[in-house]
Amino acid sequence: MDYIGSLILIAVSAALINNYVLHYFVGICPFLGVSRRVDMAFGMGCAVTFVITIASFLSWALTQFILRPGAPLAAWVAGWFVDAQTAARVDLSILSYIAYIFVIASSVQFVEMYVRKFFPALYKSFGVYLPLITTNCAILFACLYIMKHIVGVGPAERWGAGEALTLAVAAGLGFTLAIVIMAGIREELDHCDVPAPFRGAGITLLVAGILAMAFTGFAGMGANLEAMLHPPADAAHQAAAAPAPPAAAQRVAADSGDRGGTRQDAPDSGGAPDDATAHTAATSSRGQRSPQGASGP
């Protein structure tokens, strides 16, 4: 349950709260270039989702088994040449950028070949956009995001394939959502009298700005979701560890429910600070747990 909760948190965070286009500004080029018509935008979104999933999974595997410090495959290969203790400290993470861009370029190539062979109609509708995905920042960004959750953290918090795939699919869906909304607005904009200097990219950027403002409305949601998914488990643990009177458990439950209700009503700027502290508290408690796991190897 905890695992599923964290997956939900990752997915919602990648798709809505920190939308790749509107919060991290990655994938802006197709967002501005291919958002003229809704069907094209949807096709682009699907292509990106497809490629981002494959590339993220491959780069997760690459990082986990070869690139990270003390990765099993790298250590095994190094074991042929040096003693086991030195081999366990092999760190290839400096090669990660080159490896990722290689993985992305080749997976785009493979996807293109596969789609051309088995889905010719789909291939025709993607057209030139499929090869262009190679230089889409969103995919490299997803790979780097996954790397950050593998290289810099203890074994207890290291992301598995499930987390990596969830992030990739959700990020792709978030991208699709943003670009389709944008295309819908731009189709309507064609009928508007836009001042001459703003025509083209200018008005698109302004619309994107307003869209980004709308998406900041999701900002308070992450902490709410975190509070909903994690603290009840902690409260249950406490209740199980120390046989507290049922009234206390009820109060905890009512308290958390009440907090959730007020937070939904409160503006997100007001809710943010204590959400942030709750979040850091949760992460630090998890961080304290991790060194015990880390001391093993």
Partner 1 sequence: MPSDGPTATERFLRGVIPENPVYKQLLGMCPTLAVTANMQAAMTMSGAVLFVMVCANVLTSMLRGLLKPHLRILVFTLTIATFVTIADRFLAAFIYPMSRELGPYVPLIIVNCMIISRCEVCAQKQSVPTAAADAIGQALGFALALASIATVRELLGAGSWFGIGLFWQSEAAQAYRWQIMSQPPGAFLTLGVLLAIAVALGAVWNRRKKATI
List interacting residues with partner 1 (CB under 8 A). Answer: 22-29, 32, 94-95, 97-98, 101-102, 105, 134-137, 140-141, 144-145, 148, 195-198, 201-206, 208-210, 212-213, 216
Q: How far is the CB of 137 from partner 1 (least distance, A)?
A: 5
25/123 with CB nearer partner 1: 25
CB 75 within 8 A of CB 88: yes
Of 10 and 26, nearer to partner 1 (C-beta) is 26
Shortest Cβ 82–partner 1 spacing (Å)? 24
Q: What token pair was written down for 99?
A: 């490896």
Kindly give, in sequence order, each residue whose CB lies less than 8 Å from that of residue 28, ignoring residues fewer than 6 positions away. 21, 137
Measured from the CB atom, the residue of 22 and 150 that comes closer to partner 1 is 22
Reading the block at residue 177, the tokens are 């959502």
CB 150, min distance to partner 1, A: 14
Provide, rounded to whole angstroms, the least separation between the CB of residue 98 and partner 1: 5
Look at phi and psi of residue 70 and say left if phi exceeds 0, alpha if psi is from -120 to 50, else beta: left
For the CB of residue 125, give the shortest distance to partner 1 in the complex, in Å: 23
Instruction: Please say which residue, 236 or 276, places its beta carbon nearer to partner 1.
Output: 276
Q: Cα separations (Å) of 216 from 9, 165, 174?
A: 17, 25, 14
* Residues with Cβ within 8 Å of residue 56, at least 6 apart in sequence: 139, 142, 143, 146, 164, 165, 167, 168
Toward partner 1, which CB reaches closer, 213 or 276? 213
CA–chain centroid gap for 142, Å, is 6
